[in-house]
Amino acid sequence: MYRPLIALLTLIISLSVSADDGCFPDDVLPENMFPVLEFVTNKGNIEVELNRNRAPATVNNFLRYVLDGHYENTIFHRVIAEFVVQGGGYTPEFVEKPVREPVLNESGNGLPNRSGSIAMARYNDPHSATSQFFFNMNNNESLNPNPRSWGYTVFGDVIGGFEVLEQIAAVETGYSAGLDAPDVPLEPIVLQEVRVKE
């Protein structure tokens, strides 16, 4: 019911934002509308299919980080059972990795934050997503857009290795002085690399 309104708002904002702001990354692997990526972790591998058709700016942004090796030897730094597994921003030593300009929020694309989907993490500013992402471990309807607020952009789905995510979601977590944050795995969950499969 509200999707056309959100899509219209996205269009209006996209027309008012310059490409120089980093919101519209150049096409990456443009011949492949649904790239498949392999996330190699110290708990096992996860396969994800991205949806360039619904989230073109987000997919291009993510692929740029992948091809640059940004995600090599990073950690899943926020793990909340039955909610999310988040990573893409820190080394095992809790050093924050440098990022590019933020990407346009595409949460009005019709893809919900359902269990097994991958979405972009961000700050309160709806257009502040850079490299961090999360896997939804539940149907997180509160993260979807509504007439009063932007949501979190979903840009793909897990197509293999969801059991690995379930193992990660079940690890013991606690407060980390290194991040000054709760919900950090007590034993590092390392994302060794992300590679394009096809």
Delimit the domains of the chain by residue range.
Answer: 3-196
Tokens 């709760």 identify what position? Answer: 182
Q: What is the pLDDT of residue 69?
A: 98
Q: Is 51 exposed, middle or buried (0-12, 13-18, 19+ CB in 10 A)?
A: buried
For the chain, where are the alpha helices, taking DSSP H only? 3-16, 56-67, 162-169
3-state DSSP: the chain helix, strand, coil percent, rounded to 5? Answer: 20, 30, 45
The pLDDT tens digits for 56-76 are 999 999 999 999 999 999 999
Percentage with pLDDT > 70 across the chain: 88
Does this model's pTM top 0.95? My answer is no
The pLDDT tens digits for 101-154 are 999 999 999 999 999 999 999 999 999 999 999 999 999 999 999 999 999 999
Q: What is the pLDDT of residue 189?
A: 98
Q: With bands split at pLDDT 50, 70 and 90, how would you rate the model's confidence at 5?
A: very low
Q: With bands split at pLDDT 50, 70 and 90, how would you rate the model's confidence at 26?
A: confident
Mean of the per-residue pLDDT values for the chain? Answer: 91
Q: What is the pLDDT of residue 44?
A: 98
| Longest CA–CA separation in the chain, Å | 45
Q: What is the pLDDT of residue 22?
A: 56
195 and 38 Cβ atoms separated by less than 8 Å:
yes
Q: What is the pLDDT of residue 198?
A: 67
Q: With bands split at pLDDT 50, 70 and 90, how would you rate the model's confidence at 13?
A: very low
Give the Cα separation of 134 and 116 in Å (integer).
10
Question: Which one of 2.40.100.10, 3.10.20.70, 3.20.20.370, 3.40.50.300 gives the CATH number of domain 3-196?
Answer: 2.40.100.10
Give the Cα separation of 69 and 196 in Å (integer).
11
Measured over the CA atoms of residue 169, residue 172, residue 178 and residue 182, the dihedral's sign is: positive
